[in-house]
Amino acid sequence: MNCRKVSRWLSAYIEGDLLPHQAVRIEDHLRNCAQCREKVTDLRLIIQTAGELDRQQPGPYFLNRLLCAINAKRQLLETLMGWRGKMVLSGTSFVVAAIVTFMAIGPQMTYMPMAGNPSGDPAKMAIAPVEKQTDSPVQYRGFPVPNEALQRDMALIESLKTDTLKTDSIFLSNRFIQQVEQKR
Amino acid sequence: MDKLDDKQLFAKVAADDEQAFTQFVGRYKNRLFNFVARIIQEKETAEDILQDTFLRVYNQRKNYSPDFAVSTWVFTIALNLVRSELRKRKLRRYMSLDFLKEESDIEIADPRNPEPGKLKPILEKAIKGLPEEYRLAFVLCDIERLPYEEIAEIMRVPVGTVKSRINRARSMLREKLLPYKELNYELSKGLPLVIGLY
């Protein structure tokens, strides 16, 4: 037996946990190996000292603290099982039931027929996507003229081209203004 | 009630005998605390874990199976809580990057002039430095003096694994204590001190 094998069995040897023939083999090795003998001595000392180490203890009020915690838990259970608890539980269950009902029925309510959507078809409920306004190329005093205003003006100009009466009246009024300015 | 063995006493606890529960807590609190505190190494947390252990024992008192020893059952509950706390700590340590700090193995106040007969604090510190599973096995075996079979049940590993871990833990402790021996430290009380072989 070499030192490596012996070291694996030393704890068992110290505790008398080996079979007699195994113990004899270990003892044979120990008789001739001072290093392993010393290891046995050290291990015995470690085991002995470990058993003598000061035992750590909980604080003096530990038992009171524990019993208070148990009582508090018991009181909580009793409260939950008592009439107050039942009230709280029934209130809580009512709120939960209301939420569940809303979650179940709520989405269907949007499909119900209503004003503006008599069919109740959700596709018709959808709001048309808003078209992105393109920036107007025409500006007045640095501000872009809205497209709607521009289109309205263009339509007016087109109508003026065809409507001679209006054109004449504008022409006349312009001439009138020019005359007034000249008189000034 | 003092003369009742653990199973008889716990049968009374299961029958809602409050006095028996107080007696039971008195019987186990120091053993459990000593075990938990040596692994957790923080008194306040150890006391919280001890309280949680007894709360669980109280809540599960009707579910206890007499096939197991009461001590095995109670230590298993404590060990589960200890492992849970250690997991949380590992995560916190990882998050806070504390693991980057290196801790010195064992501090020697004055290696040239060690105080004689002070092996206990050195051994305490060496035990703290053991890896978790070895420390658990060593504390349960050599400090709490529980039999191998019970330790195996508590740790949920085979008896052979327990024996091997304990043997390894003792060897590691010896290696940690060797510098003291080399410094002509009085390791033993009356045992022959061999110097110069290492």
Judging contacts by C-beta atoms under 8 Å, the chain B residues touching residue A62 are: 29, 33, 47, 50-51
Amino acid at B145: R
Beta bridge partners of A117: A114
Q: What is the pLDDT of residue A104?
A: 80
pLDDT digit string, tens, across residues A114-132: 555 666 565 555 555 555 5
Asked if pLDDT for residue A92 goes beyond 90, the answer is no
Q: Residues of B near A (CB-CB distance < 8 A)?
A: 22, 25-26, 29-30, 33-34, 37-38, 43, 46-47, 50-51, 54-55, 58, 119-120, 123-124, 127, 138, 142-143, 145, 163, 166-167, 170-171, 173-174, 177, 181, 187-188, 191-192, 194, 197
Higher pLDDT, B111 or A116: A116
- In the prediction, which pLDDT does B35 show? 93
Between CA A103 and CA B92 the distance in angstroms is: 39
Please tell me whether residue B50 adopts helix, strand or coil conformation.
helix
Q: What is the pLDDT of residue B197?
A: 41
pLDDT reported for residue B55: 93
Q: What are phi and psi of A144, to 5 degrees?
A: -70, 135
Sorted by where each begins, the domain ranges of chain B are: 1-102, 103-190
Query: What span, in angstroms and rounded, lies between the C-alpha atoms of A123 and A147?
Result: 30
Instruction: Kindly provide the residue ranges of all beta strands, DSSP E only, lying in B13-119, ordered along the sequence.
Output: none
Q: Which residue of A has its CA nearest to B189?
A: A45
The pLDDT value recorded for residue B3 is 78
A22 Cβ partners below 8 Å, 6+ apart? Answer: A9
Which CATH class for the B103-190 domain? mainly alpha
Of the listed ranges A90-104, A119-133, B103-117, B168-182, the one predicted with least confidence:
B103-117
Is B22 a residue whose pLDDT tops 50? Answer: yes
Q: Do A52 and B120 touch (CB under 8 A)?
A: yes
Candidate from A121-130, A152-161, B65-74 with smallest mean pLDDT: A121-130
pLDDT at A166: 57
* Residue type (1 letter), A123: A
Q: Which residue has the tokens 């693991």?
A: B99
- Number of DSSP helices (H) and strands (E) in chain A, helices first: 8, 2
| β-strand partners of A144 | A139
pLDDT at B190: 46
Nearest to A69 by CA among B50, B151, B160: B50
What is the distance in angstroms between the Cα of A97 and the nearest Cα belonging to chain B?
Answer: 31
Q: In the prediction, which pLDDT does A171 show?
A: 61
Is residue A93 over pLDDT 50?
A: yes
What is the mean pLDDT of the segment spanning B105-134?
Answer: 70
CATH top-level class of B1-102: mainly alpha
